[in-house]
Amino acid sequence: MSRADQAVQEFLDTEETKLHSLKAFLQIPSVSADPEMKSRVVEAAEFLKSYFEELGMDKVEIFPTGLHPIVFAEKHASIPGAKTLLFYGHYDVQPTDPLGDWVTPPFEPSIRGEHLFARGSSDMKGQIMATIFALESVLKSGELPLNVKFILEGEEEVGSPSLEGFIQTHTDLLKCDMILNPDVGMINKDTPTVVNGLRGLSYFEVRIDGPKVDLHSGIFGGNVANPANVLASIIAQLHNPDGSVAIPGFYDRVRPLTEEDRKMIASNPTTDEEFLEVTGSPMLYGEQGYTMLERHGARPTLDVNGLYSGFIGEGAKTIIPAYAKAKISCRLVPDQEHAEIYELAEKYIRSIVPPTVRVSFIKHSGGPAYLADDAPGLPNLIEAYKATWNNDVVLKREGGSIPVATVMQKELGVKSILSGFGLPDDAIHSPNEHLHLPTWKKGIQAYIRFITSFGA
């Protein structure tokens, strides 16, 4: 039996125990955005620490930060002079609302059909455990041909405020030859996927203030500006009729797509119909002149993520709201700069706000877009994927954002391999998030083949 097959067999023999451990991890509500869950986020870090200790890692440490801790673990190779692989992951999860839409509670993992339902099952506790279980099976079945390190943060879903500083001050600890970041997913369950591009992000809030309190709309309506009406008008001016973003300068640094880019993007087999199906929307919508796949991963966007004003309870209440708020994010592409995009957006919005109200802004997280198809170790992973799925690997530009890939490239000098076994319909960030277990199990086997491929 080959070294890889021995380790795969070890995994197949212990699958049930491993699924049990994943469920225990998913029971911990590590919602990084919720201050009330702070101690539960720590509990998730401690779960990982104990798991690593039982695995016999050479070093395991929890580093406190200004917000949620970072877990580091390391295992030395059985042979001297081996290469070092760093796995990144985040053990925090998104909030669960709207809670009433969950079929089973978000932190009571439940298997229905081929899926495991729980918050964080796909994004990304399941992905973290896939890397750890792969290492475990390699360790339990023979020699380890690589030094393996893990950096697992608890703040990704709130923009990783502590991570860049930590990486800057721990470059020796994190020194490596390869980085695998499994925080993205596959095109579909039969198509092993490597992501070679991510979009960046600029996130901010706009607040419009009018009267000092909510006013009776009969007495005052018609004589003061309504902040909700004003905000709606501002939002309506953020796009042009052709679907493009109306902020002056927004596209100035956008690198035009080459013929080669367009060909690569078109090699993704996902059809418009399949993409639409996942959304449940009546039809696709987007910037004219681009395909769905180009708009998904390679064109910038602006979207309202949340809107709040006035009376939102049951029934009717006649008021002019005192204020209105919108949360807005832009997905960015090379070579847009997130700080500059924020400045341009603020400047434009200020220029269209009428003098009848006051406007203020809150700037949230940001990060650049990322391009990489030459990360070290990628050919080994592609081989491992091919061997596991018996299918060709497809390259994909992903619409989501993982700013840490850029930070690691800058601070550690290593480009990240972007992978993972989530599927487009896993409902990440949504109610009823789930993980497709057969794909996840194949993924673990692929990571085992990847790790053992360095032995030859």
Where along the sequence are the contacts to ligand BES (CB under 6 A)? 123-124, 156-157, 159, 183-185, 201, 365, 367, 398, 400-403
- What CA–CA distance (Å, rounded) separates 337 from 345? 12
x-marked contacts with Zn ion along 336-355 as a string, rule CB under 5 A: --------------------
Residue 422 is given by DSSP the state B
Residue 156 is given by DSSP the state G
Total interface residues for Zn ion by CB under 5 A: 1
Residue 16: other Cβ atoms inside 10 A: 7
Smallest distance from Zn ion to CB 126, Å: 12
Using the contact rule CB under 5 A, the part of the chain among 70-78, 123-131, 292-300, 444-452 near Zn ion is: 123-131
Q: Which is nearer to Zn ion, 75 or 119 (CB)?
A: 119
* Residue, CB closest to Zn ion: 123
Q: Which is nearer to ligand BES, 15 or 164 (CB)?
A: 164
Closest CA to 382 of 159, 108, 191: 191
Q: Which is nearer to ligand BES, 186 or 359 (CB)?
A: 186
Smallest distance from ligand BES to CB 418, Å: 8
Is 423:439 a contact under the CB 8 Å cutoff?
A: yes
Task: Provide φ and ψ at 164, rounded to 5°.
Answer: -60, -45
Using the contact rule CB under 5 A, the part of the chain among 79-87, 117-125, 172-180, 200-208 near Zn ion is: 117-125
Q: Choosing among ligand BES, Zn ion, none, which partner's interface includes residue 400 (Cβ < 5 to 8 Å by kind)?
A: ligand BES
Our finding on whether 294 is near Zn ion (CB under 5 A) is no
Q: Choosing among Zn ion, ligand BES, none, which partner's interface includes residue 398 (Cβ < 5 to 8 Å by kind)?
A: ligand BES
- What CA–CA distance (Å, rounded) separates 397 from 195? 6
Is 249:255 a contact under the CB 8 Å cutoff?
A: no
123, 136, 294, 426: which one binds Zn ion (CB under 5 A): 123
Smallest distance from ligand BES to CB 192, Å: 15
Task: Provide φ and ψ at 207, rounded to 5°.
Answer: -125, 130
- What CA–CA distance (Å, rounded) separates 427 from 96? 12
Q: Which helix (H) or strand (E) holds 325?
A: strand 323-332
Smallest distance from Zn ion to CB 37, Å: 16
Q: Which is nearer to ligand BES, 74 or 183 (CB)?
A: 183
Q: Which is nearer to ligand BES, 57 or 345 (CB)?
A: 345
* Residue, CB closest to ligand BES: 400
Closest CA to 425 of 222, 189, 81: 189
Alpha helices, DSSP H only, in 245-332?
259-266, 272-279, 292-297
Smallest distance from ligand BES to CB 240, Å: 24
- What CA–CA distance (Å, rounded) separates 82 from 178? 12
Q: Which is nearer to ligand BES, 185 or 197 (CB)?
A: 185
Closest CA to 194 of 449, 392, 445: 392
- What CA–CA distance (Å, rounded) separates 123 from 114? 17
Sign of CA dihedral 234, 236, 240, 244: positive
Q: Choosing among Zn ion, ligand BES, none, which partner's interface includes residue 21 (Cβ < 5 to 8 Å by kind)?
A: none
Using the contact rule CB under 5 A, the part of the chain among 110-118, 119-127, 159-167, 314-322 near Zn ion is: 119-127
Q: Which residues contact residue 219 at a Cβ distance below 8 angstroms, ignoring those fewer than 6 apart?
A: none
Q: Which is nearer to ligand BES, 156 or 294 (CB)?
A: 156
Name which of residues 43 to 82 contact Zn ion (CB under 5 A).
Answer: none
Q: Which is nearer to ligand BES, 89 or 321 (CB)?
A: 89
Smallest distance from ligand BES to CB 401, Å: 4
Is 371:197 a contact under the CB 8 Å cutoff?
A: yes
Smallest distance from ligand BES to CB 196, Å: 13
Sign of CA dihedral 221, 227, 229, 230: positive
Q: Taking each helix axis from N to C terminus, what angle separates 38-55 and 3-26, rounded to the nearest 10 degrees?
A: 150
Q: Which is nearer to ligand BES, 8 or 407 (CB)?
A: 407
Smallest distance from ligand BES to CB 341, Å: 14
Q: Which is nearer to Zn ion, 144 or 332 (CB)?
A: 332
Cite the beta strand spans of 154-209 per DSSP E.
178-181, 193-198, 200-209
Residue numbers of the site for Zn ion (CB under 5 A)?
Answer: 123
